[in-house]
Amino acid sequence: MTKKRVYEIARDLGVPSKELLEALVELGMPGLRAVSTVTDEEAELIRAFFRDRQAPAAPEAPRRPEPPPSPKREGTPRPPIVAVLGHIDHGKTTLLDAIRKAHVAEGEAGGITQSIGAYQAVVHGRAITFIDTPGHRAFTAMRARGAQVTDIAILVVAADDGVMAQTLEAVDHIKAAGVPVIVAINKMDKPGASKDRVLSDLAKLGYTPEEWGGSTVMVPLSALTGQGVDELLEMILLVADMEGIYGDPEGDLEAMVIESSLDSGRGPLATVIVRNGTLRERDAIVVGATWGRIRALHDHRGGRIPAAGPGTPAVVLGLSGVPVAGEKVERVEGPNEARRIAEERSRATVDERRAARPPRTFEELIQVAQTKQLVVVLKAASVGALEAARHELGNLKADGVELEILHAGVGPITETDVLLASAEQDMQPLIVGFAVKVDGKAARLAEQRNVPVRTYDIIYDLAQDVGRALRRLLGPELRETKIGEAEVLKTFDIDGVGRVAGCSVRSGRVVRSGKVKVYRDGEGVFAGEIASLKRFTDDVREVLAGRECGIRIRDWNDVQPGDTIEIYTVEEISV
Ligand code: GDP
């Protein structure tokens, strides 16, 4: 008996798999997934049911209410933007090449296609945009600049090798980005291939395959022979349908640079992917600190195009400089405005560079932190060391602050780690290494991005430092010590100065540098600090009990006779 997959039936019927799956629930076949197989009879039943349901004449055909339009999902389905991640040599490049060869139409000018950093494949008449710089470096470089370009991540795992260090790293990057993932189990043609081992490794990472009752889509394939590649493409379309990836050609422009270069003939080139809206020739744009009026747009086949709509990659010609990957493209009224904004930005960047001394310690950096979450990238020399360090960090606690290990891996601290950490700039990212080195590029990037990096040879020091950083997020702990009390006898309002309280010191002492709390009829009415302390007309540092003095409170002129002023000192307790 032959078997058919649900998505194949959907294709035969010419409907999205998502729609068919919804119909199957009505048919009393819940729990089926797009990759599930059904028997011939079941397939026929499904076809018949679906045709009836579609037929307008059938009175029993249930009509589903239209889902309410979500404000973020305006427009129509657009090509999903896909990035390919995974361990080195697991076949990312081979897979991207295989898809390009089979599904990208030849370009103009004799079929010479240029790599622009992205291409569009066409599958069953629908386009899929692939970012063809493989690896999570590019993926995260964009996120680090606050731009999320990818809709779906393909995680490539070689079936003969299984999950490796960079697979784990890629998983952390994908999870941090929160994008749906499809696992491509590659090299199935190789004699040593073991799909089951990959499945069980991935299950440990929280990716359970559909055939084991989970929800992660996994496709066994061979990028080299092409076996299974079409199924992967089907799955991309399916996940895109499930996710509801929409764009509005008339909507606000949302576009970002994924690659850029300087061409000796054509000047600065930037490959841009449009997520929403439409980018057109002659548009005035600002990209970071560069600007221009678009002189020409080229597609991934080297041909000139008048416009690039949602989900489309295009090369932009006509910018004043080479923009940085990850930078957003903004459209403005005209070239004058574009230039003004870009110039303002480059001035601001120069000033910022001059002014900024990168914070070097966790403590220094954390003083400016806005959040109560510490995210840590942890690297260690071996799996054993990593587990030990992870365990130590797991033991750290501080009420009201969270510690999240964004990524833990074996090996030196690299640029990728810095990119991953700096993508979480609005949290509090730290990178710590246990018995590992920081590579030179990573150190430079960390400095530029203000991400603190520390390495340790002793695990205790690592845990203590991170623990300190964690507690520091709560702000310094303060200890107040009451040192004296004064009673307000009279007040004097002095022009241009404010109100001075003539006081008698009842106990302890009043110090010029002290803080005050003011009580009226037993109730606290103000807390602040002393602006000036005088004995007669002289400024003094302190006045002891039994004497009289004039106290002016900073920024408060409401002190009244009969008030009690409590004087105290505040110390920061070091954590
Ligand atoms: P990347 O580093 O992930 O981009 O990996 P590549 O695409 O460069 O592939 C690394 C090596 O694996 C190359 O020699 C490829 O020919 C080989 N390779 C890639 N995919 C397959 C496959 O499906 N089967 C086999 N047998 N070899 C493959």
Spell out a b/e string for 197-235, using b for 16 or more CB atoms within 10 Å of the CB, else e.
bbbebbeeeebbbeeeeeebbbbbbbbbeeebbbbbbbb
- Point out the ligand 1 atom lying closest to the alpha carbon of residue 88: 2
Centre of ligand 1 to C-alpha 94, Å, is 6
Centre of ligand 1 to C-alpha 230, Å, is 17
Number of domains in the chain: 5
Assigned domain for 267 exists: yes
Strand (E) positions, 132-245?
A: 152-158, 181-186, 217-220
Beta pairing class for 328-332 and 254-263: antiparallel
CATH number at residue 154: 3.40.50.300
H or E element that contains 85: strand 81-86
Spell out a b/e string for 150-189, using b for 16 or more CB atoms within 10 Å of the CB, else e.
bbbbbbbbbbbbbbbebbbbbbbbbbbbebbbbbbbbbbb
239 shares its domain with 259: no
pLDDT of residue 13: 76
User: What tokens appear for 169 in the block?
Assistant: 């790293």
415 shares its domain with 490: no
Distance, in Å, from the CA atom of 182 to the CA atom of 99, rounded to the nearest integer, reads 16
Assigned domain for 340 exists: yes
Centre of ligand 1 to C-alpha 123, Å, is 23
DSSP string spanning 437-476?
-B-HHHHHHHHHHT--EEEESSHHHHHHHHHHHHHHTT--
154 within 8 A of 82, measured Cβ to Cβ: yes
pLDDT of residue 333: 93
- Point out the ligand 1 atom lying closest to the alpha carbon of residue 156: 3
Centre of ligand 1 to C-alpha 410, Å, is 23
Q: Which of 94, 97, 164 to mutate to test the pocket of ligand 1 (most atoms within 8 A of CB)?
A: 94
Q: Is the dihedral of CA 418, 236, 131, 246 positive or negative?
A: negative
Residue nearest ligand 1's atom 25 by CA? 187
98 shares its domain with 194: yes
pLDDT of residue 48: 79
pLDDT of residue 67: 43
DSSP string spanning 519-550?
EETTEEEEEEEEEEEEETTEE-SEEETT-EEE
342 within 8 A of 290, measured Cβ to Cβ: yes
Centre of ligand 1 to C-alpha 180, Å, is 24
CATH number at residue 422: 3.40.50.10050
In sequence order, the β-bridge partners of residue 374 are 403, 428
Residue 455, φ and ψ in degrees, nearest 5: -120, 150
pLDDT of residue 312: 95
Length of the chain in terms of residues written: 575
Spell out a b/e string for 4-14, using b for 16 or more CB atoms within 10 Å of the CB, else e.
bbbbbbbbebe
Beta pairing class for 307-308 and 313-319: unpaired
Residue 70: other Cβ atoms inside 10 A: 9
Centre of ligand 1 to C-alpha 189, Å, is 11
Centre of ligand 1 to C-alpha 159, Å, is 11
88 shares its domain with 204: yes
Q: Which of 89, 154, 156, 221 to mutate to test the pocket of ligand 1 (most atoms within 8 A of CB)?
A: 89
49 within 8 A of 27, measured Cβ to Cβ: yes
380 within 8 A of 462, measured Cβ to Cβ: no
Assigned domain for 66 exists: no
**Pocket lining for ligand 1, CB < 6 angstroms:** 86, 88-94, 134, 186-187, 189-190, 222-224
Assigned domain for 62 exists: no
Residue 72: other Cβ atoms inside 10 A: 7
Q: Which domain holds residue 327?
A: 254-351
Assigned domain for 69 exists: no
Residue nearest ligand 1's atom 19 by CA? 91
H or E element that contains 77: strand 76-77
Residue nearest ligand 1's atom 14 by CA? 89
Distance, in Å, from the CA atom of 454 to the CA atom of 432, rounded to the nearest integer, reads 5
**pLDDT per residue of the chain (575 residues) written in tens, 0 to 9:** 566 777 777 777 777 777 777 777 777 777 777 767 778 888 888 777 777 766 544 343 333 444 444 444 568 899 999 999 998 899 999 999 999 988 887 655 444 456 788 999 999 889 999 998 766 666 776 776 666 789 999 999 999 999 998 888 888 888 888 899 999 999 999 998 999 999 999 999 889 887 787 889 999 999 999 999 999 999 999 999 888 899 999 999 999 998 888 888 888 899 999 999 999 999 999 998 899 999 999 998 888 999 999 999 999 999 998 888 788 999 999 999 999 998 888 777 666 555 544 444 454 444 444 557 788 999 998 888 888 888 888 877 766 677 888 888 888 999 888 988 888 777 778 899 998 999 989 999 888 888 889 998 888 788 888 888 887 777 666 778 889 999 999 999 988 889 999 999 999 999 999 899 999 988 888 888 999 999 988 999 999 999 999 999 998 999 999 999 999 988 876 54
Assigned domain for 70 exists: no
Distance, in Å, from the CA atom of 367 to the CA atom of 359, rounded to the nearest integer, reads 10
Assigned domain for 367 exists: yes
Distance, in Å, from the CA atom of 151 to the CA atom of 79, rounded to the nearest integer, reads 10
- Residue finishing a domain among 220, 247, 274: 247
Q: Is the dihedral of CA 108, 114, 116, 119 positive or negative?
A: positive
Quickly list H helices, 104-164: 108-111, 136-144
pLDDT of residue 46: 79
Cα dist. 521→218, 490, 562, 563 in Å?
73, 16, 8, 7
CA nearest neighbour of 245 among 76, 377, 463: 76
Assigned domain for 68 exists: no
CATH number at residue 481: 2.40.30.10
99 shares its domain with 219: yes
83 shares its domain with 226: yes
223: helix, strand or coil: coil
499 within 8 A of 559, measured Cβ to Cβ: yes
Q: Which of 161, 222, 224 to mutate to test the pocket of ligand 1 (most atoms within 8 A of CB)?
A: 224
Centre of ligand 1 to C-alpha 161, Å, is 12
